[in-house]
Structure 1
């Protein structure tokens, strides 16, 4: 008897959907992972997302306070040099 078994699809149909947009611009139709707003393919999977205390922003040090102060000092020196040249 193939095809006579009733499948319990109610919970699957009523589960919350993923909030992501697909490449086409339409909303994702996959069910969201339990306790999250995204499906397994759009960031709901375990271990997805940025690490806690995201250290990725410090890979090159361009935006550290020390680096920004140094850049500001260099800009000041250049400006003073231009002003000095214009005086003579």
Structure 2
């Protein structure tokens, strides 16, 4: 029998919801799961993403809107306390 390095590779840790059986595919190096279950995947962020249009929903824009909303809420609370 020929020793194939793929046989010694760590296996994917993903499990089926329905049967509970584990995936038997080799895990991607540096990850716990195989390429089918999301190891190192995902789309690029920001302008490099194919669906990027205007930047309104980027992480930075969302964080900025949350900060502004918090400042407005603080100002309203301070104004209510003065009355």
TM-score by length of 1: 0.48
User: Residue in 2 aligned with 1:29?
Assistant: 24
User: Residue in 2 aligned with 1:3?
Assistant: none
Q: Aligned runs of 1:1-88 on 2, under 5 Å?
A: 8=2, 10-24=4-18, 25-45=20-40, 48-49=41-42, 56-60=58-62, 61-64=64-67, 66-78=68-80, 80=81, 84=83
1:35 CA drift (Å): 3.4
1:49 CA drift (Å): 4.2
Structure having the higher helix fraction is 2
Q: Mind listing any 5+ residue stretches in structure 1 that lack a counterpart?
A: 1-5
Instruction: Find runs of 4+ consecutive structure 1 residues off by over 6 angstroms.
Output: none
The C-alpha deviation readout for 1:13-56, integer Å capped at 9, x for no partner, is: 321012333333543322111333221012224xx24758xx94
Pick closer, same or farther for the CA change 1:18–1:58 going to 2, 3 Å: same
The structure with more radius of gyration: 1
The separation in 1 between residues aligned to 2:21 and 2:70, in whole angstroms, is 42
TM-score by length of 2: 0.50
